[in-house]
Structure 1
Amino acid sequence: MTTCAQHLIQLLEAYGVDTAFGIPGVHTIELYRELHDSSLHHYTPRHEQGAGFMADGYARASGKSAVCFIITGPGMTNIATAMGQALADSVPMLVISSVNARHQLGLGHGHLHEIPSQQQTLAGVCRFSHTLLDADNLPEVMAQAFAVLRGGRPGPVHIEIPLDVMVAEMHSSTVPRVARFHPPGPAPAAIDQAQRWLNEAHRPLVLIGGGAVAAPEAVRQLVERLDAPTLTTINARGVLGHDHPLDLGANASLPPCRELAREADVVLALGTELGETDYDLVFDDGFSLPGKLIRVDIDARQLARNQAADLAIVSDAGLAATALSEVITEHQRDGRLRTQATREAMALERDADLAQYVPLFATLDEVLPEAIIVGDSTGPVYAGNMIARRPAPRRWFNAATGFGTLGYALPAALGASIARPQLPVVAMVGDGGLQFVLGELGTARDLARPLALLIWNNDGYDEIRRYMSADGVAHVGVNLKAPDFAALAESFECRYLGIGSPAELADALEQVKDSDSVLIIEVDAARWQASTVSANTLPVEKRNT
């Protein structure tokens, strides 16, 4: 006899899933019966939110989806925040949960882990949520799940299995045909129209979002054929390489980039939702595109949001970039000169607010040039979103924008280290945000992988403190006393270094190489600022980051 739970594991193997995150509970034991003898590697976080963030980091670093096994009720409400972050950034994640038996659903009898409607509670933080009421429907439901994860705009998918269905016998346990999903390509007529506009353009501009990270070569070739200045969003960091002469980074909110956008006669937006946290961080609706706008997105509804398109192409961004690069006539449009002029006008390296972070990222580039850097909502990450460079996509991601959750970086970095074990990983956190997920230091210790946990210690929630000061609000609830991170490191069997300068950071990062344990690097923000911001730093126009 094959039960529904056992067949689920077989189906996951058939779809090529090899990684699972979860915390076993009395309601999910059946999921683990087959797991021991399967090809799936299972990792246990210290909290279900950690499971979701680990799956998120795994997917962003590898491009593949992992599965999370989560118990009914509190397990699902715990992972909901991680699902919300993944939904906001279109990160694939399959969440399999238990739920009370079918005859108990919705009755409010007070059964263990019961909530009125778990499916409705989670529906708002995933692409779809389904309750499996018949074990024999499992293959079809799984096929629909992977159609979303691999064939369209990805995001979290939730399948809940009642306890009685989980142990039900499958009438047929034959693994069905597993389709290989190919995302949609662009319509030929749309490519014809786009190439005409782009070939005739005098001042083209390209906007690249996270939807393009799977096709960096095609996107780079297209950008170079257009000779167009290019804004790459936070989730597209590295698509053009480390320091491409046409890459302006994620600085669409700054006046020089906005001027470039207003002057563009044709704008090509590839795989970007054109959302607020990428294009309007000053929250004044000042990012405008008066020229012809060509939008490419795998999600047709997204093409109708935020900025109205003159030409909307439903397509995978990489396939569209490949098709366009084959028909675009290579032009010299002074794109590199315009990009350089815009960089000089932004003067990021001389910005008083960014000056202290410039040597931080220069040191990371020098010592760990290939590292994956995963960030929380903290000062260095806000700055890095503007000034950091990576050699390839999937090497820079964080939760400082979009859904904007705290506690993301450490577990997401652990997921990234599982996905890309050959690369060093740096988790960049604040002392306040890290306290959301201190338990995951135990997970980090257990994994024994090269990981640097860089703690920016500024004694609490400094970003909120500064907003309060600017708005004349007393500092209430933001001055937190951090734990003794050195003692904490010792208790979790992690290495520890306290630093306050770029030279000390370089020495610390050298110790991450060829190591199989976590190194906690606590940066004293006050000492760092004193050692990096010189007296002759030139202040430029204040920017809200």
Structure 2
Amino acid sequence: MSPQITGGDALAWALESIGLDTLYAVPGGQLDHFFDAIQRMGPNRIRLLRPRHEQAAAYMAFGHARSTGTVGAYCVVPGPGVLNTLAALSTAWATSSPVLCISGQVPTHAIGSGAGYLHEIPDQLGILARLTRFAERIESPQSTGACIHKAMAAMLSGRPRPVSVEMPMDVMSESSVVSDIGQFVRPAVKAPDAGQIEEAAKRLASARRPLIYVGSGALDASQEITQLSALLGAPVGAFRSGRGVLDSRNPLSLVFPAARRAWAEADVVLAIGTRLKYPQMYWGLDESLKVIRVDLDSEEFDRHQSPEIAIKADARLTALALAEALTRHEMQINRNWTARISDIRRGVEGEISQHLSVQLPWLSAIRQAVPEEGILVDEITQMGYCSWYAYPVYGPRSLVTAGYQGTLGYGFATALGVAVANPDRPVVSINGDGGYLYTANEWATAMEYGIPLVAVVF
């Protein structure tokens, strides 16, 4: 790296320093020096994909992040370019996805002036701050590396969240001596407290009807939770985001309606990486039901009702620690409980067959056609809703949804990002005829870059 570089060069090198190899971007005047810098870096450093619309750039970054658990990044011009991405950014927030928004900005001296510079809007950074965990302006080429590394640290500290940075166009074009971009050090993963693990293990070992309930915070703990489920004889329930943590073919895997019935009979619930919104708000708790919660976000513990044990720690490390601690306790799987779970599964499957008789054959046909490792991206449409209950999911990050944000029209462009990030996994996008048209123009992007994707429109 030359000691005399532009702010655009510093930004490109800083992105490479965090391991970024793909960027979804729509070029514009305030970003020229940044794209020149990427070009100067040479091939096979940062792959640049240019969709037709800013909303697609952000959705592709979201799909990239959601399907891999790694950072998905997009870059757009300020003002209307940024505003076009906010639905995707709010979806990333709702699903705790590690998305990085990079935006240009008017010249530093003009920010907040209302002078009418191209793409100027009031308080762009303030707007972004309300939808991200971290929003900061890069004020010089020399501070670029530190700012990007701070953004990444904020993104990955505890529960993942989207973050944003902006660089004014004069900073992007400024040439300065930058001696070192620096190295990004990923935040340490939080291990569980040993005392809490022992206390939770005692509760679980003595449970007669244990239930595990998971959300997206458990997606990277599938193997460990599968082991824990088998050890306890505990079913694993999920709504949308946690589906696939336990393979749908596992007899202890429960879709949402079945989890509701198991909840009513459980005596101990282990909730991992989930807001636990529906169970706590609508299913109810009584004094006989003991709840153990595992989450990286301590704000979730007391949002509705306080758990008996609250473990602020990584899901995978906690599941591992619990499995190890349980080996020190005497326990016996309650075969009556596992038999009851089988009855619940059969009953719910029968009701799904009856009530979703129109949608189920289509979802079954898609499941039969999609290889085991394939990924389904839903939409805000009847077929998408039904996929939460009736589409078998064989592994984590195999069903991508918009979570509670319910973002109509997000699906097709998101699926493009999923396909880019997972070139060895078949990807299917299911759409309603309305939401599909929000980003159907991005077929041009798919054709330009050879992105393999199957879209089904209902």
1:152-167 correspondence runs (5 A): 152-167=158-173
Match of 2:12 in 1: 9
Match of 1:445 in 2: 447
SS of match in other structure, 1:11 = helix
SS of match in other structure, 2:167 = strand
* 1:421 maps onto 2:423 in alignment: yes
* 1:20 maps onto 2:28 in alignment: no
Q: Distance in 1 between matches of 2:439 and 2:451?
A: 18
* 1:289 maps onto 2:295 in alignment: no
Residues 331 and 40 (structure 1), Cα distance of their counterparts in 2 relative to 1, 3 Å cut: farther
Contact residue 295 and residue 303 of structure 1 kept, 8 A: yes
Q: Distance in 2 between matches of 1:29 and 1:348?
A: 58
* 1:75 maps onto 2:81 in alignment: yes
Contact residue 219 and residue 242 of structure 2 kept, 8 A: yes
- String of CA shifts for 1:34-84, please: whole Å, max 9, x gaps: 212430111111111101110111112222112211101001000011000
Q: Distance in 2 between matches of 1:140 and 1:405?
A: 33
Q: Distance in 2 between matches of 1:358 and 1:25?
A: 45
Q: Distance in 2 between matches of 1:349 and 1:358?
A: 11
Q: 1:170 offset after TM fit, Å?
A: 4.1
- String of CA shifts for 1:299-328, please: whole Å, max 9, x gaps: 121222233211111111111111111112
Match of 2:146 in 1: 140
Match of 1:51 in 2: 57
Tell me which amino acid in the other structure corresponds to 1:323: A
Match of 2:395 in 1: 392
1:198-237 correspondence runs (5 A): 198-237=204-243
Q: Distance in 1 between matches of 2:221 and 2:211?
A: 19
Q: 1:349 offset after TM fit, Å?
A: 5.1
Contact residue 247 and residue 339 of structure 1 kept, 8 A: no
- String of CA shifts for 1:205-257, please: whole Å, max 9, x gaps: 111111111121111101111111221231122111231111112x1xx4x64
1:223-262 correspondence runs (5 A): 223-249=229-255, 251=256, 254=257, 257-262=259-264
Contact residue 225 and residue 331 of structure 1 kept, 8 A: no
Contact residue 379 and residue 430 of structure 2 kept, 8 A: yes
Q: Percent identity of the aligned residues?
A: 34
TM normalised by structure 2 equals: 0.93
Residues 137 and 434 (structure 1), Cα distance of their counterparts in 2 relative to 1, 3 Å cut: same
Q: Which region of structure 1 is more displaced relative to structure 2, 164-173 or 43-52?
A: 164-173
- String of CA shifts for 1:361-411, please: whole Å, max 9, x gaps: 222222213321101101111111011112211111122x41111111111
Tell me which amino acid in the other structure corresponds to 1:345: G
Q: 1:194 offset after TM fit, Å?
A: 0.7
Tell me which amino acid in the other structure corresponds to 2:311: I
- String of CA shifts for 1:446-501, please: whole Å, max 9, x gaps: 23233111001xxxxxxxxxxxxxxxxxxxxxxxxxxxxxxxxxxxxxxxxxxxxx
Contact residue 146 and residue 181 of structure 2 kept, 8 A: no
Q: Distance in 2 between matches of 1:438 and 1:364?
A: 21
* 1:434 maps onto 2:432 in alignment: no
TM normalised by structure 1 equals: 0.78
Q: Distance in 2 between matches of 1:379 and 1:426?
A: 16
Q: Distance in 2 between matches of 1:365 and 1:438?
A: 23
Contact residue 218 and residue 318 of structure 1 kept, 8 A: yes
Tell me which amino acid in the other structure corresponds to 1:303: F
Contact residue 19 and residue 42 of structure 1 kept, 8 A: yes
Q: Distance in 2 between matches of 1:438 and 1:417?
A: 15
Q: Distance in 1 between matches of 2:268 and 2:252?
A: 16
Match of 2:326 in 1: 328
Which protein is richer in helix relative to its size?
2
Tell me which amino acid in the other structure corresponds to 1:230: V
1:26-41 correspondence runs (5 A): 26-38=29-41, 39-41=45-47
SS of match in other structure, 2:376 = strand
Instruction: Structure 2: state its 5+ residue gaps.
Output: none
Q: Distance in 2 between matches of 1:310 and 1:127?
A: 29
Contact residue 228 and residue 333 of structure 1 kept, 8 A: no
- String of CA shifts for 1:405-431, please: whole Å, max 9, x gaps: 111111111111111111211000000
* 1:343 maps onto 2:336 in alignment: no
Match of 2:119 in 1: 113
SS of match in other structure, 1:242 = coil
Q: 1:338 offset after TM fit, Å?
A: 2.3
Tell me which amino acid in the other structure corresponds to 1:354: L
Q: Distance in 2 between matches of 1:308 and 1:271?
A: 15
Q: 1:348 offset after TM fit, Å?
A: 4.5
Tell me which amino acid in the other structure corresponds to 1:427: S
SS of match in other structure, 2:254 = coil
Q: Distance in 1 between matches of 2:17 and 2:388?
A: 38
Structure number with the bigger relative contact order (C-alpha 8 A, sep ≥ 6) is 2
Contact residue 348 and residue 354 of structure 1 kept, 8 A: no
* 1:316 maps onto 2:314 in alignment: yes
* Selected match of 1:363 from 357, 362, 365: 365
Q: Distance in 1 between matches of 2:371 and 2:105?
A: 45
Q: 1:105 offset after TM fit, Å?
A: 1.2
